[in-house]
Every structure is written in C-alpha cells, then in structure tokens.
Amino acid sequence: MAKSEKKKDGPIMETVKTVVYALLIAGAIRTLIFQPFWIPSGSMKSTLYIGDFLFVNKFAYGYSYASCPSMFGVDFCSFAKGSDERLFGSDPERGDVVVFKHPVLGSDYIKRLIGLPGDRIQMIDSLLYINGEPVSITPAADFIETYAPQGPEGRSPSCSNRPAIDGACIKASYTEVLPNGVSHNILDIRETHVDNTAEFIVPDGQFFFMGDNRDNSVDSRFSQTGPQRGVGFVPRENIIGRADRIIFSSAGNSMFYFWTWRSDRFFKAVE
C-alpha cells in the first residue's frame, strides 16, 4: 500500500497563511526601510502641505528604538530606549526634513533640521542666526492658498491678510540659505514672541528643529514643558528617518478621497 501523501491545507488555511506572510513582510519593510507619514498640520508649508502622503527613509540615518513602529499603544522597542547608539547610524545633515519622536509626548513630528550638536541658534527680528551669523534670505513670491478648512481637523490657515471665506490667504515667502548651502522657502505671517529668542546652545547628541512655516510651528524654539508642549532639543535616538519624496497629496479630509488629490504633487521631491 502506497504511503499517503501529506495532507494539504484547505483554502481557508491557505488564505490565513497568505495574510500572515503579507503582514510580516509589510511589518519588516515598515520597520527596516520605509515608514508612511501623513502630514497633519501646516507647520512645514510651503515645503509640505496638509494631506501630503510620503514615505520616511529609515535607512538614511540607521536604526534606534524610534525606528521600531508602535502598535495599539505598545512600543515594541522600548527596551532599547536610552541608548545614543544607532545601528548603521549616521547623523542627519543641516537642512534635512526629518521625522522624529517627540522627546516627551512620543508622537511623530516632522520638521527641518536647523541646529547640530554644539551650534548656537537664535532668532532676531524674524531672522535666523546660526553661531552668531545671520543666514541669507531673499524675497520669494508670496505663498497664496484658499482660506478654508483644511485636512481632517478642519482648521483654516493663518494669513497675513484678513480674507473672507474661500478668499486668498496670503503669506510672505523668503528663500533661506543655510550655512551648508541648503536652500528652502520659509513663510512669514506676522510678528510673534519666537521671532526674537534667547540663544539656544544645542547639547551634544541632540538636534534643533524648526518648521518652514515659522510663525505657525511649535518646534525646538518652544520648551517641552511649556503650555504648548514644544519640541525642545531632540536626542539622536529619537530620529526616525528622512523625508525624501511625496507619493501623493490629498486636499480633502481623507487620503482615500482620490478626487481631491493634487495632481502637481505626485512623487514630488522634498527639498
């Protein structure tokens, strides 16, 4: 009598295995290479819009506890927290647009890297000073958008003028050039208390971040323990990765509303 063949899995078990394998592969990719990120606020305009969907390149700076995604409120790599070492690590460069974990809240933020360890950072009359020297800025075309609720939170943008609903919201724009030659546009809405600051000295192993929408960004200029729960200095271990390219962008309340996708932002490089 011939030996019986190995019993094959039924269709339901095959489906379950396929789903499990797919989730494992997706989890590995998300953990090791790319992490999706949805822009929820206007703090990085005009570089990033509310509704931009991008992938964060984790490999760019190597891996720390922050590289491991959390699910259902569980931080699976919390055991590695507190170490300044990064696997395959390299430091970000000044001017990079970086995703990192808020040092206190633990939520993911995206800002531009302005200050490196040891740098002295200060704002004087809305102008950025790095190590005592003002950065170069030149006027650019005004940034104009519709004054209307934006994104899932339905917040209207801040404007230099006072437009009516669905009117033109205007913000002055400047091209800023950092000491290493990286240039990008920044927005100036109005005078705020962080347009003139004390000098920040960036500690060893930490970084200083700012939003390109300078008057509408809670960033390293704000204390972590203040009422606005600012970013303060960000430890090296909290860095997740670099934002390189926008995949697509939705002007609606959801990324799934494909009819609201912005046609000019498909695969747009983040600069």
Give the active site residues.
43, 111
For residue 10, give the amino acid letter: G
Alpha-carbon Rg of the chain, whole angstroms? 22
Location of structure tokens 């998300």: 30
Backbone angles phi, psi at 53, to 5 degrees: -115, 125
Tokens at residue 148, please?
A: 């209307």
Q: Do 261 and 249 contact (CB within 8 A), yes or no?
A: yes
Query: Cα separations (Å) of 10 from 3, 5, 17, 20, 61?
Result: 20, 15, 11, 16, 44
The closest of 62, 6, 72 to 33, measured between CA atoms, is 62
Phi-psi region of 246 (alpha: psi -120 to 50; beta: other; left: phi over 0): beta
Residue 171 has, within 13 A of its CA and on its CB side, a CA count of 25
Q: How many CB atoms lie within 10 A of CB 131?
A: 13
How many Cβ atoms sit within 10 Å of the Cβ of residue 198?
9
CA distance 157 to 83: 39
Alpha-carbon separation of residue 22 from 11, 15, 27, 233, 247 (angstroms): 16, 11, 8, 38, 22
Residue appearing with tokens 């040891």: 118
